[in-house]
Structure 1
Amino acid sequence: MNRKLEGKIALITGGSRGIGAAIAKRLASDGAKVAITYSKGVDAAAAVVKEIEREGGKAIAIQADAIDAEAAKAAVEKSVATFGKLDVLVNNAGTAIPKTFEETTLEEMDRVLDINVRGVFIATQAALKHMKSGGRVIMIGSSVGERVLVPGLAAYSATKGAVK
Structure 2
Amino acid sequence: MSACPAPLALVTGGFRRVGASIAMELARAGYALALHGRSDLTPEAELAETLAKQGTEWHGFSADLADCDASQLLVERVTAHFGRAPDLLVNNASLFEYDDWQSMSAQMLADHFAVNLFAPMLLTRAVVAGAGEGQVPAIVQIIDQRVRNPNGDQLSYTLSKQALAESIRTLARAFGAKARVNGVAPGLTLATSDYDDAQMQRLAARMPLHRLSAPGDIARAVRYLAQEPAITGQLLFVDGGAHMLSMDRDFVFMDKTDDA
Range into which the TM-score falls when normalised by the shorter chain? 0.7 to 0.9
Amino acid at match of 1:104: M
Partner of 2:30: 31
How many Å separate the matches in 1 of 2:22 and 2:83? 21
Amino acid at match of 2:77: K
The two structures have a TM-score, normalised by structure 1, of 0.85
Q: Secondary structure at the match of 2:107?
A: helix
Partner of 2:69: 70
Q: State the number of aligned residues.
A: 155
Deviates more, 1:131-140 or 1:55-64: 131-140
Matched, 1:46 2:42: yes
Partner of 2:58: 59
Cα deviations by residue, 1:1-46 (Å, 9 ceiling, x for unpaired): xxxxx71000011212122111111111110000111113x1xx32
Matched, 1:161 2:177: no
Are the aligned partners of 2:66 and 2:114 in contact in 1 as well (CA < 8 Å)?
A: yes
1:51 Cα offset (Å): 3.4
* Root-mean-square deviation (Å): 1.8
Cα deviations by residue, 1:96-129 (Å, 9 ceiling, x for unpaired): 1112221122101110011101111111111112
Are the aligned partners of 1:65 and 1:71 in contact in 2 as well (CA < 8 Å)?
A: yes
Amino acid at match of 1:51: E
How many Å separate the matches in 1 of 2:62 and 2:49? 18
1:90 Cα offset (Å): 0.8
Are the aligned partners of 1:143 and 1:161 in contact in 2 as well (CA < 8 Å)?
A: no
Structure 2 residue ranges without an equivalent (≥5): 166-260
Pick closer, same or farther for the CA change 1:72–1:150 going to 2, 3 Å.
same
Are the aligned partners of 2:127 and 2:137 in contact in 1 as well (CA < 8 Å)?
A: no
How many Å separate the matches in 1 of 2:62 and 2:149? 35
How many Å separate the matches in 2 of 1:112 and 1:142? 14
Matched-pair identity in %: 25
Deviating 4+ runs (over 4 angstroms) = none
How many Å separate the matches in 1 of 2:114 and 2:157? 11
Q: Secondary structure at the match of 1:144?
A: helix
Q: Secondary structure at the match of 1:47?
A: coil
1:150 Cα offset (Å): 4.5
Are the aligned partners of 1:38 and 1:63 in contact in 2 as well (CA < 8 Å)?
A: yes
How many Å separate the matches in 2 of 1:116 and 1:100? 17
Cα deviations by residue, 1:116-150 (Å, 9 ceiling, x for unpaired): 01111111111112225212111111112532315
Q: 2:138 aligns with which of 136, 148, 159?
A: 136
Are the aligned partners of 1:117 and 1:159 in contact in 2 as well (CA < 8 Å)?
A: yes
Are the aligned partners of 1:64 and 1:71 in contact in 2 as well (CA < 8 Å)?
A: yes
Partner of 1:16: 15
Partner of 2:193: none
Partner of 2:112: 112
